């Protein structure tokens, strides 16, 4: 493999932020009477955007959210984010040690990714760009944001490897023809998640950042 660039997802891959979002949502949904637990939520909703969550809650749980739901979620999430956000264990050292140029590809906004990296002291270690779903028409699981990144970086799919933690992210990257490492190191990851990522097409699975380092060495990017 001739890998020239690494594309990292952000939430659940570099920063352990998904568990904060999960617990915020569960507090709000449980308070509205929806008896859903962390395991079920983490299996059903990872990597989805607000409108997709609204659709699932309406169609599968017959639940209509109150008008102030998302502002309340965002306020609570900001509070927990500022006090609890951490880097994925070992990712701070690995991210700085990688010799191959790296960029971020996220369904979150550029501002959100910058804030996350700054809070875990990794923004200065990013030597590439930040590509967001706000740059394209369709978010992950569609391949648009990865295709956009390839276009801007002027790279072919065979010269790029992706690190993702969610089924939607793996699906998006594979849709763009990219090699994907599924990372299972985040706190929200449940048993069987690796098999789910493999079904979506992940080429490698790393259970932690040590495993990710071994894969990077195998494909000559570390």
**pLDDT the model gives residue 135:** 96
Residue 48 has pLDDT above 80, yes or no: no
Query: What rounded mean pLDDT belongs to the chain?
Result: 93
Segment 102-115 shows an average pLDDT of: 96
Residue 11 has pLDDT above 90, yes or no: yes
Contacts made by residues 193-197, CB under 8 angstroms, sequence distance 24+: 196/167, 197/164, 197/167, 197/170
Domain boundaries, the chain: 5-16+86-218, 18-84
**pLDDT the model gives residue 4:** 97
Question: What CATH number matches the domain at 5-16+86-218, 3.40.50.1000, 1.10.600.10, 3.50.50.60, 3.20.20.150?
Answer: 3.40.50.1000
**pLDDT the model gives residue 159:** 97
Identify the band that residue 47 occupies on the pLDDT scale cut at 50, 70 and 90: low
Domains 5-16+86-218 and 18-84 share a fold: no
Helix axes 18-31, 69-84, angle to 10 degrees: 140
**Alpha-carbon distance 158 to 162, whole Å?**
11
Give just the sign of the alpha carbon dihedral 71, 75, 78, 80. negative
**Alpha-carbon distance 63 to 40, whole Å?**
16
Enter the pTM of the model. 0.86
**pLDDT the model gives residue 122:** 98
Per-residue pLDDT tens over the stretch 123-136: 999 999 999 999 99
Residue 43 has pLDDT above 90, yes or no: no
Residue 175 has pLDDT above 90, yes or no: yes
Q: What are phi and psi of 105, to 5 degrees?
A: -135, 115
Q: What is the CATH number of domain 18-84?
A: 1.10.150.240
**pLDDT the model gives residue 195:** 96
Identify the band that residue 183 occupies on the pLDDT scale cut at 50, 70 and 90: very high
Segment 11-33 shows an average pLDDT of: 91
**pLDDT the model gives residue 49:** 75
């Amino acid at each position: 493999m001739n890998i020239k660039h690494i594309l990292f997802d952000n939430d659940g891959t570099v920063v352990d932020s998904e568990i904060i979002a999960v617990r915020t949502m569960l507090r709000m949904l449980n308070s509205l009477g929806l008896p859903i637990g962390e395991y079920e939520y983490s299996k059903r909703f990872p990597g989805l955007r607000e409108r997709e969550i609204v659709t699932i809650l309406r169609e599968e749980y017959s639940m209509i959210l109150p008008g102030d739901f998302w502002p309340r979620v965002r306020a609570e999430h900001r509070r927990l984010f500022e006090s609890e956000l951490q880097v994925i264990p070992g990712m701070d050292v690995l991210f700085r040690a990688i010799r191959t140029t790296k960029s971020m590809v996220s369904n979150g906004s550029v501002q959100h990714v910058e804030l996350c990296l700054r809070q875990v002291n990794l923004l200065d270690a990013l030597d590439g760009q930040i590509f967001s779903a706000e740059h394209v028409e369709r978010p992950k699981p569609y391949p648009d944001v990865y295709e956009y990144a390839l276009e801007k970086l002027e790279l072919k799919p065979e010269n790029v490897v992706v690190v993702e933690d969610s089924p939607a992210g793996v699906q998006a990257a594979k849709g763009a023809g990219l090699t994907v490492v599924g990372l299972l190191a985040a706190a929200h990851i449940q048993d069987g998640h690796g098999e789910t990522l493999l079904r979506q097409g992940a080429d490698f699975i790393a259970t932690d950042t040590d495993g990710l380092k071994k894969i990077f060495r195998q494909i000559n990017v570390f």
